[in-house]
Structure 1
Amino acid sequence: MKRKTLNKAVQYSGIGLHKGEGIKMNLVPAETGGIVFKRVDLEAGKNIILLNLENTFDLTRGTNLKNEFGAAIYTIEHFLSALYILEITDLVIELDGNELPIGDGSASIFLKVIESVGIKELEENVDEIVIKEPLSLTLGDKHIVALPFDGYKITYTIKFDHTFLKSQMLEVILNKESYKNEIANARTFGFDYEVDYLKKNNLALGGTLDNAIVVKEDGVLNPDGLRYEDEFVRHKILDLIGDLKVLNRPIKGHIIAIKAGHALDIEFAKLLKNQEEK
């Protein structure tokens, strides 16, 4: 695959999920250098955060990056998911805060913003990560398995001990069309009993029913309901695609995830990287 960037710079502003503050995001084309986050609100020289495995940290409620100076950027997985499917490998993301705008809680706004200016193909190639033999990773009751496959397929199962949200499973062969139709619009979600805890710990301060699904005992609080009956597992697939984008390379294989999550996703990315380096 050829490396790709944007045709020209484009801006987007929105609310950050956890701090609840307005964030301005400026996407700047780059010919080389990979995916680079630049905190324009911080001191020059210490404000550059590269997308790589070594910079990931604090994976409890999202995928986050920080550099050696402590500059951090939070909740990048939805944006990375859109970058993966649009094959963007080189880009500078200028931000005036420490997290990305949440949009409507899905990846759809990032697709629209990027496609509004178009994509530019670069000269250099980027090699695929090819799953050549079975790989697996387990942490408690969370599992990820990868198998050889001619394409990129994800099978995901979620299971919750909840009166409304129990088990869901979905399998999708990923391409731009299937992603846009089946995955991109699926929103992040949480449970009503978590809201007070999150607010008290200065998290989800920007969370509303306009940018997240809130699950209650017998349904969801969102007045318009769900976009898909199985929107929850679709969003988990969206997250997984974004988390594995930390490798910034296309993936060829069948990934099977059971109750995974950000921390296991990133550990699995390390496993994929180690397989490539052998």
Structure 2
Amino acid sequence: MASWNQRTVAKRVSCTGVGLHSGRPATLTLAPAPADAGITFVRMDLGVEIPARNEHVVDTMLSTSLGRGGARVATVEHVMAALHGMGIDACRVEVDGPEIPILDGSAAPFTCLVQEAGVKVLPAGKRYLVVDQPVEIRDGDKLARLEPADGFSVSFTADFGHPLITDQSFQVKLGERAFEREVARARTFCFRRDIEKMQAMGLAKGGSLENAIVVDEFSILNPEGLRFPDEFARHKVLDAIGDLALFGMPVVGALVAVKSGHAMNQALVKKVLADPAAHRVVRVTGEADAPALRAKVPALAIHEGSAA
């Protein structure tokens, strides 16, 4: 039954790093939250709480930023992906500045934080957003489509316009620790030619080979190379999982993405939420509900027996 109940972290855990775009030092703390609280970002320096939902998205240039009452938290997608991938429904994400620390550029450090904290089962059933009809956003050759499916899966395809990373694609079905094994360690990336341009825009001030894959015209500059042959596509899947986590609950559906990014992902979330015929929210209120929902979402009974 634990897999069908909401979950939070069992204790407070923290990490410190720098913001990828701001370059500012940042300390992040994951803290327990009660049932039905959802994920909430807390600007500790300002005393402002920002629910992790699509309605609070204020910027999607190179990352996803949330805002409320003049306060912002930037680059939320990696920690959101980790919380979603680890089955966490309720959590306070406390940060002492305007950006989440980038750490190694992947979601793996955040999954490690959840593992360090442990997981506490809450006395309320999970809620799921079930996709009943396909919804899509198109922009030229770019596509983001969410369609009915059993469980939650993400596929991403793109040609990054570079001889080392043309026509990459990756697909994953969440559940059975697939996020930890196949997605979490994939790092963010950039092209060397774009770094000066981003820095002129006030971005990428904290970027380095320690927290991003950097590609020049002919090679990957990171001395350790890639963690996966298709790490670029895997990271785009990671980003998409983090973006779709701003539904505020796990999704039962399949995301098909072609060259999409944060802006298109959030436009898709908004479009789904605006169409009552395309989705419904299902809550598991007890073990009696689980068999019927399990038939529809077998992949979402994750981390069985791992909760405290």
Same fold (TM over 0.5): yes
Distance 2:94 2:169 in 1: 36
Unaligned runs of at least 5 residues, structure 2: 282-308
Which shows bigger deviation, 170-179 or 250-259?
170-179
Match of 1:240 in 2: 240
Give the secondary-structure state (helix, strand or coil) at the position aligned to 2:252.
strand
CA RMSD of superposed structures (Å)? 1.5
- Deviation readout 1:220-245 (Å, 9 max, x if unpaired): 11111111111000000000000000
Q: Secondary structure at the match of 2:17?
A: strand
TM-score norm. by structure 2 comes to: 0.85
Match of 2:156 in 1: 156
- Equivalent pairs, count: 274
Q: Which structure 2 residues correspond to residues 56-67 of structure 1 after superposition, within 5 A?
A: 56-67=57-68
Give, in angstroms, the shift of residue 83 of structure 1. Answer: 0.6
Question: TM-score by structure 1 length?
Answer: 0.94
Alignment correspondent of 2:7: 4
**Deviating more after overlay: 57-66 vs 193-202:** 193-202
Mapped contact 1:36–1:49 kept (Cα < 8 A): yes
Q: Distance in 2 between matches of 1:154 and 1:202?
A: 31
Q: How does 1:7-86 map to 2 (within 5 A)?
A: 7-32=10-35, 33-42=37-46, 44=47, 47-67=48-68, 69-86=69-86
For the residue of structure 2 that corresponds to 1:128, the secondary structure is: strand
State whether residues 78 and 242 of structure 1, in contact with CA within 8 Å, keep that contact through their aligned partners in structure 2: yes
**Residues 79-107 of structure 1: CA distance to partner in whole angstroms, max 9, x if unpaired?**
00001011212111221110111010000
Tell me the secondary structure at the aligned position of residue 182 of structure 2. Answer: helix
- Runs of 4+ in structure 1 deviating by more than 4 angstroms, as ranges, are none
Q: What SS class does the counterpart of residue 219 from structure 1 fall into?
A: coil
Three-state SS of the structure 2 residue aligned to 1:49 is strand
Query: How far did 1:176 drift?
Result: 4.4
- Identity level (%): 37
CA deviation after TM superposition for structure 1 residue 147, in Å: 2.6
Q: Secondary structure at the match of 1:229?
A: coil
The amino acid of 1:78's aligned partner reads H
CA positional deviation for 1:139: 2.0
- Check conservation: 1:17, 1:206, Cα contact below 8 A: yes
SS at match of 1:182: helix
Determine the C-alpha separation between the residues in 2 that align with 1:55 and 1:177: 29
Deviations 1:110-151 (A, max 9, x none): 000111111111111232112223222212221012232211
CA distances 1:133-187 after superposition (whole Å, capped 9, x unpaired)? 3222212221012232211121110112223322101121112422111111000
The answer to whether the Cα contact below 8 Å between 1:28 and 1:91 also exists between their aligned partners in 2 is yes
C-alpha contact 1:164 1:216 (8 A) present in aligned 2: no
Of the structure 1 ranges 2-11 and 139-148, higher mean CA displacement relative to structure 2 is found in 139-148
Deviation at 1:4, TM superposition (A): 1.3
Query: Per the alignment, in what secondary structure is the counterpart of residue 79 of structure 2?
Result: helix
* Structure 2 CA distance for aligned equivalents of residues 175 and 181 of structure 1: 11
Distance verdict in 2 for CA 1:277–1:174, change over 3 Å: closer
168-177 or 22-31: which moved more?
A: 168-177
1:178-234 per-residue CA deviation (whole Å, 9 max, x = no partner) reads 211111100000100011112222211111001000111112111111111110000
